Amino acid sequence: MKKIILAVALVAMMMPTTFAGTTYLGNTGGTYGSVDWEITDGGNSTGPFEVKGENYNWPASYDFVDAATLRVRMEVGFWIKLNTKDKWLTLQQTEIHKYAGEVTIDVECNVNIEVKAIWNKGSGLPTINKDSLKLNDGGETCTINAPGAPMKVYLKIKDVDVKNFNMDTQVGKCIQIGTITLQVRPLVRPTIAGAC
């Protein structure tokens, strides 16, 4: 703002006080305050007057300037997704009283994780015992590294006697006999007080 005012002041000093057909009166105050006037009718002091551009009462305001910097931080939490939507592990008979099957699900994570599988037999069903439960051809636990990977879930059951199933509601139908709970935990050292 100071540079602008200085430039205008220099221009005003360089301009002559009289022009062809006009007389420069300078700062007359009055209705317009500190404004330069010119007589535009060849010297008639009664006017009319023309307001020039050299107005030293131009509207002004302070500009915003940088004063400080405030640092911002956040704690990035764990993100783990096991996509089991519309997924079923379907068992097929492999031998007498034994059934087996597998399914692959997509795992996404922003941290290395350990997954654990737990078999849960459905209530109100005849004897069904777990023979084996595996994740990725290992045991009942497996490790998935970030950013994730497909994971295979394999289940084998035994001691299944189909004659004990209900003829009206179960025999000849594809029924749900239980669930597999998938538990997860991040493979990082816990921070008791929080990261931030």
Q: What is the pTM of this model?
A: 0.64
Contact present, 99 and 91 (Cβ < 8 Å): yes
Total domain count for the chain? 2
For residue range 80-108, list pLDDT tens digits in order: 999 999 999 999 999 999 999 999 999 99
In the sheet with 22-27, reading across from the earlier edge strand, the strands are: 18-19, 22-27, 35-39, 49-55
Q: How many CA atoms lie within 13 A of 60 on its CB side?
A: 10
Residue 75 falls within a domain, yes or no?
no
Q: Are residues 127 and 164 in the same domain?
A: yes
Whose tokens are 């007589």? That residue is 39
For residue range 44-86, list pLDDT tens digits in order: 566 665 555 555 556 788 899 999 999 999 988 999 999 999 9
First to last CA, the chain: 44
Helix, strand, coil percentages in the chain from 3-state DSSP, rounded to 5? 10, 40, 50
Q: Are residues 120 and 41 in the same domain?
A: no
Q: Are residues 7 and 84 in the same domain?
A: no
Neighbours of 113 (CB within 10 A): 21
What domain range is 101 assigned to?
80-186
